[in-house]
């Protein structure tokens, strides 16, 4: 049942606050949206929408009305009759469960969970709502964390999503047993799941209640899960982190891999580039770069940032074993196709900083990949550790200093390299810089790991 009132003072006192949902249209506040019961456990769950700051406020109003009516919930809209009339006119053609994403809705939704929760999700092959899990005795807690925000019981029927730091704050709060919003507090991150909102909407699964976008009861991982971040997959130093550090590291990696996945979906595979584009890339890693590898038929080689195999197809046939690592699973799959005829090739979809192996390499090389690595010192020290004594590291760094890559509608944050910093990091890692070679668009570093007999 949906009721329109002019003021919250008109809310019924004979009905339990837990049985009421309120959406109030306001103006002149410093915030855009305010949600919860304001710390008053006796008050109803309420959403305040500042119509001065929220351009499409009518969507919130229309979604709230449709959600409450469809689910037979006691919903109260606090707004003037004129505002309600305007909202309903502008809302025409929309539904709270419409099977498409709106222009302002994210194409990717995030759901974070504890380590134990992630184990259960993988075991079940699906996400399940709190009530779904509670019915099967799969939860250690007796009540959902949302109870501290005043969430109504009906919300526990849904899988909730978020973005930014907020999903990690939920995990932190679960571990604390109460709402805990210190984004720099230590906690144990579980898994941060990135899900395809466009596909979920097209399949009629997304529900909008005036504030949240959510899914009822359960959601299979296939075909909606795009990627899951865990502390070890991100290459963090250990299982203890903070919501700020973990969410930023995960979002950074997801942006990189989704960009390169999208390039393949758009039909761009550098291995198949026409000669003019391949010649263009020689400005970073052409014949001079390949010569510096000094490959032999027995060389064990590692490429950091193998992509679809643009360089690997030129390197792998001339060495004893070849390992390529890249964040993008789709790029790795394509590289496997390009290198399928070579039995000594291993290709791994992972972050280099999270890569663990007992193997040591004669040659490690990378071109343009360090632009995506924030922790350069850690990466170069890892290179030094993975090299055999006498092994060689060949690195091509872009001379451009911009920190943002614009590609159509996508924007990717970069971590530019400088020759001075790169040389210092190589030396600090115990590598000997043999030479720096200026290229048209890059600087090529050739470094070597000393042997025990070196002076």
**Residue 351 scores a pLDDT above 80:** yes
Task: List the structure tokens of 143.
Answer: 């009540």
First to last CA, the chain: 84
Helix (H, G, I), strand (E, B) or coil at 353: helix
Please check whether residue 328 is in contact with residue 349, taking contact to mean a CB–CB distance below 8 angstroms: yes
Q: Identify the pLDDT of residue 41.
A: 57
Please check whether residue 452 is in contact with residue 397, taking contact to mean a CB–CB distance below 8 angstroms: no
Angle between helices 81-90 and 57-70 (to 10 degrees): 90
Q: What is this structure's pTM?
A: 0.87
Q: Same structural domain for residues 239 and 117?
A: yes
Domain presence at residue 371: yes
For tokens 């606090």, name the residue: 78
For tokens 């230590």, name the residue: 186
Domain presence at residue 432: yes
- For the chain, how big is the Rg over CA atoms in Å? 27
Q: Same structural domain for residues 297 and 257?
A: no
Q: How far apart are CA 279 and CA 288, in angstroms?
A: 13
The alpha carbon of 171 is separated from its chain's Cα centroid by a whole number of angstroms, namely: 16
The residue among 217, 249, 265 that closes a domain is 265
Q: Identify the pLDDT of residue 455.
A: 62
Q: How far apart are CA 21 and CA 166, in angstroms?
A: 22
Q: How far apart are CA 255 and CA 235, in angstroms?
A: 16
For range 183-191, the mean pLDDT? 96
Please check whether residue 139 is in contact with residue 213, taking contact to mean a CB–CB distance below 8 angstroms: no
Q: Same structural domain for residues 135 and 233?
A: yes
Q: How far apart are CA 392 and CA 302, in angstroms?
A: 11
Tell me how crowded residue 92 is: count the other CB atoms within 10 A of its CB.
8
Q: Same structural domain for residues 254 and 375?
A: no
Domain presence at residue 103: no
| Domain CATH for 331 | 3.40.50.150
Q: Identify the pLDDT of residue 34.
A: 86
Q: What is the pLDDT of residues 256-288, one digit of tens each?
A: 999 998 899 899 999 999 999 999 999 999 999
* Average pLDDT taken over every residue of the chain: 92
Q: Same structural domain for residues 155 and 256?
A: yes
Q: Same structural domain for residues 255 and 322?
A: no
Q: Identify the pLDDT of residue 92.
A: 96
Q: Can you give the residue range of the structural domain that contains 374?
A: 270-448
Q: Same structural domain for residues 316 and 257?
A: no
Domain presence at residue 375: yes
The Cα-based distances of 20 to 8, 25, 44, 217, 376 in angstroms read 12, 16, 6, 21, 53
Q: Identify the pLDDT of residue 15.
A: 67
- Taken as a whole, the chain contains a residue count of 455
Q: What is the dihedral of CA 375, 380, 381, 387, to 10 degrees?
A: 150
For range 310-327, the mean pLDDT? 97
Domain presence at residue 289: yes
Q: Same structural domain for residues 14 and 75?
A: yes
Looking at per-residue confidence, does 407 or 267 come out higher?
267
Confidence class for position 56, pLDDT limits 50, 70, 90: very high
Q: What is the pLDDT of residues 82-141, one digit of tens each?
A: 999 999 999 999 999 999 999 889 999 999 999 999 999 999 999 999 999 988 888 777
Q: Identify the pLDDT of residue 42.
A: 62
Indicate the number of domains in the chain. Answer: 3
Q: Same structural domain for residues 72 and 221?
A: no
Please check whether residue 414 is in contact with residue 405, taking contact to mean a CB–CB distance below 8 angstroms: yes
Q: Same structural domain for residues 427 and 297?
A: yes
Q: How far apart are CA 384 and CA 375, in angstroms?
A: 15
The residue among 216, 238, 265 that closes a domain is 265
| Strand ranges (E), 13-101 | 20-26, 33-36, 45-50, 74-78
Q: Same structural domain for residues 85 and 124?
A: no
- Please classify residue 296 by burial: count the beta carbons closer than 10 Å to its beta carbon, then call 0-12 exposed, 13-18 middle and 19+ buried: exposed
Domain presence at residue 381: yes
DSSP labels for 415-443? ----HHHHHHHHHHTT-EEEEEEE-SSEE
Domain presence at residue 97: no
Task: List the structure tokens of 443.
Answer: 């600087």
Q: What is the pLDDT of residues 137-171, one digit of tens each?
A: 887 777 787 777 677 888 899 999 988 999 999 99
Looking at per-residue confidence, does 321 or 407 come out higher?
321
The residue among 246, 265, 284 that closes a domain is 265
Greatest extent of the chain over all pairs of C-alpha atoms, in Å: 87
Domain presence at residue 235: yes
**Residue 399 scores a pLDDT above 80:** yes
Q: Same structural domain for residues 151 and 175?
A: yes
**Residue 39 scores a pLDDT above 60:** no
Helix (H, G, I), strand (E, B) or coil at 368: coil
């Amino acid at each position: 049942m949906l009721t329109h009132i002019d003021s919250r003072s008109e809310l019924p006192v004979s009905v339990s606050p837990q049985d009421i949902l309120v959406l109030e249209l306001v103006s002149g506040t410093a915030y855009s949206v305010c949600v919860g019961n304001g710390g008053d456990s006796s008050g109803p769950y309420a959403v305040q929408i500042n119509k001065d700051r929220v351009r499409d406020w009518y969507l919130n109003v229309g979604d709230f009305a449709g959600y409450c009516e469809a689910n037979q919930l006691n919903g109260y809209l606090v707004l003037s009759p004129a505002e309600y009339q305007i909202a309903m006119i502008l809302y025409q053609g929309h539904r709270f469960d419409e099977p498409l994403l709106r222009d302002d809705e994210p194409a990717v939704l995030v759901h974070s969970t504890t380590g134990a929760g992630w184990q259960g999700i993988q075991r079940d092959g699906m996400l399940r709502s709190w009530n779904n899990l509670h019915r099967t005795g799969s939860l250690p807690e007796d009540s959902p964390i949302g109870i501290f925000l005043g969430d109504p019981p009906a919300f526990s029927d849904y899988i909730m999503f978020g973005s930014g730091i907020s999903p990690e704050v939920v995990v932190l709060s679960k571990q604390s047993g109460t709402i805990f919003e210190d984004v720099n507090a230590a906690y144990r991150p579980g898994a941060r799941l990135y899900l395809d909102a466009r596909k979920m909407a097209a399949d009629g699964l997304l529900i909008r209640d005036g504030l949240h976008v959510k899914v009822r009861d359960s959601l299979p991982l296939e075909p909606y899960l795009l990627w899951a971040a865990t502390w070890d997959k991100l290459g963090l130093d250990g299982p203890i982190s903070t919501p700020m550090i973990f969410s930023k590291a995960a979002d950074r990696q997801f942006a990189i891999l989704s960009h390169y996945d999208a390039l393949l979906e758009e039909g761009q595979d550098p291995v198949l580039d026409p000669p003019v584009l391949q010649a263009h890339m020689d400005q970073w890693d052409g014949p001079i770069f390949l010569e510096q590898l000094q490959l032999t038929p027995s060389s064990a080689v590692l490429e950091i940032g193998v992509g679809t195999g643009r360089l690997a197809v030129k390197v792998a046939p001339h060495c004893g074993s070849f390992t390529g690592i890249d964040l993008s699973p789709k790029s790795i799959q394509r590289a496997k196709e390009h290198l399928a005829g070579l039995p000594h090739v291993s290709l791994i979809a992972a972050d280099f900083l999270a890569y663990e192996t007992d193997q040591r390499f004669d040659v490690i090389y990378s071109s343009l990949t360090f632009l995506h690595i924030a922790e350069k010192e850690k990466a170069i020290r890892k290179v030094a550790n993975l090299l055999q004594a006498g092994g060689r590291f060949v690195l091509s760094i872009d001379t451009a200093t911009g920190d943002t890559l614009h590609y159509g509608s996508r924007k990717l944050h970069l971590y530019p390299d400088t020759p001075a910093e790169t040389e210092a990091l190589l030396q600090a890692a115990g590598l000997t810089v043999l030479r720096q070679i200026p290229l048209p668009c890059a600087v090529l570093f050739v470094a070597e790991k000393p042997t025990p007999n070196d002076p």
